[in-house]
Amino acid sequence: MGLLSGTRAVVTGIANKRSMAWGIAKAFDREGAQLILSYQSPRLKENLDKLLSELSQDPLVLPLDVVEENSVDQFIAELSSAYPDGIHTLVHSMAYANREDLEGRFVDTTRDGYMMAQNVSAYSLTALTRGVLPLMEKAGSGSIMTLTYQGSVRVMPNYNVMGVAKAALESSVRYLAYDLGRQHIRVNAISAGPVKTLAASGVRGISAALHDVADKSPIGENITTEDVGNAAVFLASDWAKRITGHVLYVDSGLHMMGFLGG
């Protein structure tokens, strides 16, 4: 028996084997959750198909592009017809900003670039949560989680518009947690340290961020997607049943450090 035996978990945002979402899917699989996975585009589905043999199950795999309203509706409709008894867990692991908005000055962000980052990286959590709500009500309880980064609360040069989107995302976590708490649906965020994923490679300075964790964090080691997966198992499990509206840092402790000397 794993910690998540008897639960059904939707994991979005797997682009390849380096994705945070893949670390989470593998940890959920290990703990006995039944998985439903999504992919953004046919090209990414090819990547996902190659990974599936690493799992102990053959999960339902569905397309989902969160900027397309129809795609979100179709995704929820397919989930509802496949699992009329409901689902227990939703992992929101996606973000996007135009490359030119992830360098230089934040003040130069265009309206379109700002809206794009908010749409994919923040609003999609609310849209997906609203969609899965009836399914979690059927299941009797639920755990929703998203992935965020410390650039929401501190200035990280080059993170720019994504930091502002992550601030909106973390605030959404709190408002959603308030809305859904009485239905025993919890909403939390994992604030992960840097990992060289596809999305992270679009952020200038990712190498410096990795160096900072190894050099300046209390634990002095970079994190892995397995670490994120294990934290996600905890948040999905009953051991976290009184934890909601929380941002859980998985960053070797770097977030608490100041940088005056030392």
Ligand X SMILES: NC(=O)c1ccc[n+]([C@@H]2O[C@H](COP(=O)([O-])OP(=O)(O)OC[C@H]3O[C@@H](n4cnc5c(N)ncnc54)[C@H](O)[C@@H]3O)[C@@H](O)[C@H]2O)c1
In the list 8, 13, 229, 244, the residue contacting ligand X (rule: CB under 6 A) is: 13
Rg, C-alpha atoms of the chain? 18
Query: Minimal CA–CA distance to 59: which of 73, 71, 45?
Result: 45
199 belongs to an annotated ligand binding site: yes
67 belongs to an annotated ligand binding site: no
Is 149 a catalytic site residue?
yes
In the list 15, 33, 144, 145, the residue contacting ligand X (rule: CB under 6 A) is: 15
166 belongs to an annotated ligand binding site: yes
Sign of CA dihedral 189, 193, 196, 199: positive
Task: Report the C-alpha gap between 157 and 204 in whole angstroms.
Answer: 9
Interface with ligand X in residues 120-149 (CB under 6 A): 120, 147-149
In the list 194, 212, 244, 254, the residue contacting ligand X (rule: CB under 6 A) is: 194
Kindly indicate which of the ranges 59-67, 101-109, 125-133, 178-186 contains the residues binding ligand X, using the contact rule CB under 6 A: 59-67
Q: Does 229 bind ligand X (CB under 6 A)?
A: no
The total number of residues written for the chain in this structure: 262
Beta strands, E only, the chain: 8-11, 34-39, 60-63, 89-92, 142-148, 185-192, 247-250
Nearer to ligand X by Cβ, of 139 and 159: the residue is 159
Nearer to ligand X by Cβ, of 33 and 200: the residue is 200
Query: Minimal CA–CA distance to 65: which of 114, 117, 13?
Result: 13
Q: Does 19 bind ligand X (CB under 6 A)?
A: yes
Contact call for residues 148 and 166 (beta carbons, < 8 A): yes
Q: Does 217 bind ligand X (CB under 6 A)?
A: no
Helix orientation angle between 225-236 and 20-30, rounded to the nearest 10 degrees: 50
In the list 200, 213, 232, 240, the residue contacting ligand X (rule: CB under 6 A) is: 200
Say which residues have a Cβ less than 8 Å from residue 197's Cβ, sequence separation at least 6.
Answer: 15, 16, 18, 19, 20, 225
Residues flagged as binding site = 13, 40, 65-66, 94, 97, 166, 195-199
Residues flagged as binding site for substrate = 97
For ligand X, the binding residues (CB under 6 A) are: 13-15, 19-21, 40, 44, 64-67, 93-96, 120, 147-149, 192, 194-195, 197-200
Residues flagged as binding site for NAD(+) = 13, 40, 65-66, 94, 166, 195-199
Residues with a catalytic annotation lie at 149, 159
